[in-house]
A = this chain, B = another copy of it.
Amino acid sequence: MSRNELINIIFRKRSFLCIGLDTDIRKIPPHLMQHDDPVFAFNKAIIDATHDLAIACKPNLAFYESMGARGWESLRKTMDYLKPMRQELFLIADAKRGDIGNTSEMYARAFFDPASSGSDFDAVTVAPYMGEDSVKPFLGFPNKWVILLALTSNKGADDFQLSHLLDPNIPLYEQVINKSKAWGSEENMMYVVGATRPEMLTGIRHLLPHHFLLVPGIGAQGGSLAQVAKHGMTKECGLIVNASRNILYASSGDDFAEKAREEAKKIQQEMNTLLIKS
């Protein structure tokens, strides 16, 4: 998906919500467990209930890998199910990959090359620690995106990302942003910036005035959508805000899909207001 297509979807749907498919088999409503593939049955119901309210969908690979080959099969079915919605949903593989060049090339094929892997995501999250040659192979696919970890939403972001480099005013995550900007463009790179540190978004917007940011951390992790929009929104929106647990597990009963929709609707309505203001 191109940048323009993404922006068009955001303003058409009046939403910048990403549904995080962190589907945990231990949290799926009991009545779904009789399905052949409960994870896929759950995802299908969540997608049906929320796709018109969201502009992106983000399977978290860990949750599928934790179930081995069976999990990959559930993911494949989910991706197949999403195929007819390709024009209205930006598909993100939340995988946090990154390795030496020849290995990153294989990861890129895993997520971007359907002829090789069967997967055809629009974007993949990538960890920056191994530097430029670990990121570049993902950028060789037209209309595919790297979403690079910059400032993540967890406590562990303090350990290194907020460490200061030579200049005591420049923490590591800023150096990651400064250096990596040259590796791609606003057309094929986004950054992960957690909602849990909204005050830092203003500074990040100085470094990245036009890039899209993927923002996890509202809901279960405590971040505020209004704060994120206040400090991070651009005139093209420039934000994809993810919600996972509070939508997926809004109810553990038969009404889980309906409750998921209610949660998604609440967020989308707030997003609609925030988009009007901007």
Contact = CB atoms under 8 A, between A and B. Distances in A.
Interface string A86-115: 000000001011111111101101100100
A269 interface: no
B156 A106 contact: no
Given A62-B110, A131-B154, A166-B166, 11 more contacts: A62-B99, A63-B103, A67-B117, A68-B116, A69-B118, A127-B130, A131-B160, A133-B156, A134-B156, A164-B166, A165-B172
A187 interface: no
A133 B110 CA distance: 27
A268 to B, nearest CB: 24
Interface residues of A, number: 64
A152 interface: yes
A160 B176 contact: yes
Interface string A214-225: 001000010000
Q: Report how many copies the assembly holds.
A: 2
Nearest to A75: B69
A164 to B, nearest CB: 5
A175 interface: yes
A158 interface: yes
Contacts of A60: 99, 103, 106
A161 B163 CA distance: 13
B154 A175 contact: no
A126 to B, nearest CB: 10
